[in-house]
Chains A and B, each alone.
Chain A
């Protein structure tokens, strides 16, 4: 759609403001994989309550917005079970091994001009693009 970029820019602005609140208020880097990963592997139990409340906000606001406006709730998610499991495992493993994902390395890392954030982002975008092109256009399975 022609207006998608406006929604993208506005939504991105909200994401950045969320990161700014978390940084300037709580003194923490807003990384989705770090917050969830720290809770599930036990490394981040020290301030578990804060992290759980953060995750509650991430879940609740889209739920409220989608109920209010009944828009954009179609995720077009694949139903291919082996694919979902493989991709989920890769995302969980990769983000924890690299210590960050699109929010931590991408948004928070690039905005402080961190070399690690920039390099991580280049590698996951290249790997994502090459994997998608291989599986969609070469193998034709997704």
Chain B
């Protein structure tokens, strides 16, 4: 049953990314490019996704997941250097090509060698991230 729910969640996520146009880099870069031909679609996608999720979070109060276990612990309130540095790095890569992790995966079958190269580079970044994160911690501790 956990497998079925995982597949269903992934399928809805992939289908949503596909029909919303978020695997099209022009639409994503169009949203980031405030000095170009601005495209508001991404804001509608975010809004459309946040509404069901907002309701879902309300449902978690005082309950347990359908398939057992526990819901994620409450969101941590503290902001740290990793959150800021990492988000800035992610944003830079996102702006350069117009792909974030979800759409990279969703479009892998029709995004050509370019999509495969992006995915491999992204995975390489993910593999070295724990080490780079530790180095950032050391720099932050000295600062």
Contacts and interface: CB of A to CB of B under 8 A. Distances in A.
B95 A129 contact: yes
B109 A62 contact: yes
B124 A107 contact: no
A48 B59 CA distance: 26
A93 to B, nearest CB: 4
A34 B133 CA distance: 15
B97 A117 contact: no
Nearest to B89: A94
B114 A77 contact: yes
A62 B14 contact: yes
Contacts of B17: 11, 15, 58, 62
Interface residues of A, number: 109
Given A59-B106, A103-B102, A13 B126 contact: no
Contacts of B39: 4
Contacts of B41: 4-5, 7-8
A101 B90 contact: yes
B65 A26 contact: yes
A99 B84 CA distance: 10
A24 B90 contact: no
Contact of A116 (B7, B75, B91, B118): B75
B76 interface: yes
B118 A87 contact: yes
Interface in A1-44: 4-5, 7-30, 32-33, 36-37, 40-41, 43
A117 B21 CA distance: 23
A45 interface: no
B5 A57 contact: no
16 contacts: A8-B45, A10-B48, A13-B51, A54-B7, A57-B10, A60-B11, A77-B111, A85-B121, A90-B90, A92-B125, A95-B90, A101-B100, A108-B53, A124-B91, A132-B33, A135-B95
Given A55-B10, A58-B10, 16 more contacts: A8-B44, A10-B48, A16-B49, A27-B64, A27-B72, A58-B17, A59-B14, A59-B109, A61-B11, A63-B110, A77-B98, A87-B99, A94-B87, A99-B83, A120-B86, A129-B95
